[in-house]
Structure 1
């Protein structure tokens, strides 16, 4: 029961306090890829802790400690006529764990299905109204609003409007299209879908709400950084200024948008990247967030196994 309490308390604390910890300082703008990993790892960690807390409360450590085969056999027996799962509290705990897992699965599927449907509809429109420009490697769409975006998916493509081609210099067009291709190569739409699924599943919890907004911002910073490896930052900044008011379809990833002016300042005045030690600390934090709940949940079972065989060691 101690492990269940620890996991439950951690899940509550992470859902409330993690956004403040992860938002401290400007380190995320210096390492957007690492920051995305930390935000998603924190979401996974909080949800996993809640699920494992329920399982730890419902299933006795002795059952886990005697091996997986005995565990499943005991679970079947307990569901029929066992003493532990016959208690209302145990049934409630398992029902809660199942509800959390089902909620995440449903919301994730809903986000992916909706986005896929909207992208297919938009792809059909581009086939009719757009034209592929082999030199640009993008679809050119006749439109009087300057915009550039990418349409993710199995046949992902970058899209730029004729107004954007008129507004941007050739080197700026190349830079902004490199930004969009970075989204496609990095499969950033799946990262956004994961963050959106957490936000949809738990809409009123600070961690998941903030994670959705932060991940959406950070994928744009990451695409800027990838584009900056091959194009001068000043070209990316100039393109962002001209595309700042451009609106892309909500299910695509656009170069402009609300964060464009902030990203312009970042392109023109880049901060120093994280030092090796800072980056290693961030990676260690990601590993701890992902492995921590599993380790805590496994401790009672491991302790029971060791105590059963050695009769000398007991952790919880």
Structure 2
């Protein structure tokens, strides 16, 4: 029960904290310098809360001594473990398992809904592009006849980078190349999957601040990451100039656009880049990522392993 209480307390604090793993001054210090790592940390924080909830229910339903005994049986013979398992009989255990089942069902349902809705919207948009757009082999993008300067990508199978004639008229060739490199970075990095995961968790737990904050932060960070990838082969000044011209051009639903409300912030970042994370900082970030992913399982495992050792160490011989 101690493990369950620890996990529940952690989940409660993490989901209601006003600032997430990249919030406040810490965000400006490291998340914008390592957006890929920051995205992973946000997703790991959300996953650790869900895992803590599920594992807390498991800890209530299956006491530590039972885990210890069953581990011993597993090492002796797996068949005995399966045949010797008994369903929990206490109302509290059944309530915990039922709650865990509801959480899993909620997450799966919302995840499926997000994927289906986004897939439907992208298919419709691709059908529209097939009719109204034309593929430009030199640009490697679909050109859409539209007066407003817009550039975006439609991810998924046969993902496409799209740019309007308005953007081609207002941007220099070097800026066009930089913008399309940004969109191709989205497609190659499959950034829409990170956004879909964040959106599904936000829908599943819509009243909890952590998941809403993760969705908005990941949407911002994938744009920073695509900017960084584009900057590897193109001038940061060209990217910044293109972002200024595309700032008011919104992307269609279920697409990732180079412009939008974060464009002006990204312009300042392109013109005044911060130093990348040092080795120590990156190792600390990776350690935090590992702790978020492995921590809940370790909390649950410690009592069971302790019970296993307490009850069965006398059978272990040292040769």
**TM-based fold match above 0.5:** yes
Partner of 2:2: 2
The answer to whether residue 36 in structure 2 is matched with residue 33 in structure 1 is yes
Measured in 1, the distance between the counterparts of 2:83 and 2:51 equals: 24
Measured in 2, the distance between the counterparts of 1:29 and 1:88 equals: 48
CA contact (8 A) 1:57 1:93 kept: yes
Q: What is the CA deviation profile of residues 58-113 of structure 1, one whole-angstrom value per residue up to 9, with x for unaligned ones?
A: 112222222354554444x32xxxxxx22221111001111111111111111111
Partner of 2:126: 123
Partner of 1:280: 283
TM-score normalised to structure 2 length: 0.93
Q: Structure 2: which 5+ residue stretches go unaligned?
A: none
Measured in 1, the distance between the counterparts of 2:208 and 2:63 equals: 30
State the shift of 1:56 in Å: 0.3
Measured in 2, the distance between the counterparts of 1:213 and 1:2 equals: 34
Partner of 2:178: 175
Measured in 1, the distance between the counterparts of 2:93 and 2:123 equals: 45
| Partner residue of 1:56 out of 48, 55, 59 | 59
The answer to whether residue 146 in structure 2 is matched with residue 143 in structure 1 is yes
Q: What is the CA deviation profile of residues 157-184 of structure 1, one whole-angstrom value per residue up to 9, with x for unaligned ones?
A: 1000011000100000000000000000
The answer to whether residue 20 in structure 2 is matched with residue 23 in structure 1 is no
Measured in 2, the distance between the counterparts of 1:21 and 1:220 equals: 18
CA contact (8 A) 1:63 1:71 kept: no
For these two proteins, the number of residue pairs brought into alignment is: 305
RMSD: 1.4
Partner of 1:82: none
- Secondary structure at the residue paired with 1:198? helix
TM-score normalised to structure 1 length: 0.93
State the shift of 1:311 in Å: 5.6
CA contact (8 A) 2:195 2:215 kept: yes
Partner of 2:14: 14
The answer to whether residue 297 in structure 2 is matched with residue 294 in structure 1 is yes
Measured in 2, the distance between the counterparts of 1:74 and 1:298 equals: 20
Partner of 1:217: 220
Q: What is the CA deviation profile of residues 131-158 of structure 1, one whole-angstrom value per residue up to 9, with x for unaligned ones?
A: 0000000000011111000010110110
Measured in 1, the distance between the counterparts of 2:44 and 2:147 equals: 41
State the shift of 1:17 in Å: 2.1
- Secondary structure at the residue paired with 1:30? coil
